[in-house]
Amino acid sequence: MTTIPASMALNAYARAAGMGGNAQTPLPGAGQANGGFGDMLKQALTEATNVSKASEVQMAAVTGGTGGGNIVDVVTAVAEAESTLQTVVTVRDKVITAYQEIMRMPI
């Protein structure tokens, strides 16, 4: 298992905390008219895709020699894409586990 630097974890947490926008936390039992878990998940997946594409652009700039990219930027972009992918996979696993728990509940 790879170790993720603390700075990357803090950056990922800050990005995740900012996904909710400036909206106040809804009260328990109150419905959400706009947005919700599905929208937050869609936004997170879009961000993960964008991070991955950005790392690919960085790699292409360095390997193609067109953009004069820096190898440090490439390594940083790839590491950020990897941590984002790990986060997405972890969330997916948690959602599947929760679904399985709900299916096991007696009716």
**31: confidence class by pLDDT, cuts 50, 70, 90:** very low
Number of structural domains found in the chain: 1
Assess contact for 86 and 4: CB atoms under 8 A: yes
- Least confident range of 21-30, 74-83, 86-95, 96-105: 21-30
Q: Is 2 a domain residue?
A: no
Domain residue limits at 62: 36-107
pLDDT in tens, 41-90: 888 888 888 888 888 888 887 877 665 667 888 888 888 888 888 988 89
Q: Is 15 a domain residue?
A: no
Q: Is 10 a domain residue?
A: no
